[in-house]
Amino acid sequence: MDSRLIQRAVLIYLTIAGLLVGVWATFAPRSFYADFPGLGRVWVSVDGPYNEHLVRDVGQLNLALALVTLAAAVTMQSTIVRVAGGAVVLNAVPHLIYHLRHLDKYTIGDKVGNVLSLGLLVALPIIVLVLNSRDSLSQVSAGVRQNGRRSEHERNI
């Protein structure tokens, strides 16, 4: 499968995930607090009292991440793809670590759901970063082999 297609698919998935959390938490913070992730599961309210400001902030930050990942998916420009992947990792790793340290509040099914869903948000952007870096190195190597030297564009990748 084409590396760019995989990267684009992951970025679209991350955009959708960011929009889901972002729209829900921003525009219906009480519902997000009481009902996330949905389908009868409750992952937010078990962790402390409701704080509308904090829930809306989480939503708005997820909307911002969704914008960055969408821009990366649309343009597939290496720098934007890397920034998007890095931004998602910087958000997802501490979030996963927090939940790994506080799994005692959840049922077995919710523990598994938390770890899998949050782990996916760490693994997927890392895959994008690795594939994008590999593709960039391949492009530079191909340019050096063809021309004997790198172009200005290749030096900026």
pLDDT of residue 106: 96
pLDDT of residue 147: 58
For residue 143, what are the domain limits? 3-155
Predicted confidence band at 84 (pLDDT cuts at 50, 70, 90)? very high
Q: Does the predicted TM-score (pTM) go above 0.75?
A: yes
pLDDT of residue 61: 97
Whether the per-residue pLDDT at 148 is higher than 90: the answer is no
Predicted confidence band at 137 (pLDDT cuts at 50, 70, 90)? confident
Domains in the chain, number: 1
Whether the per-residue pLDDT at 17 is higher than 80: the answer is yes
First to last CA, the chain: 23
Whether the per-residue pLDDT at 154 is higher than 70: the answer is no
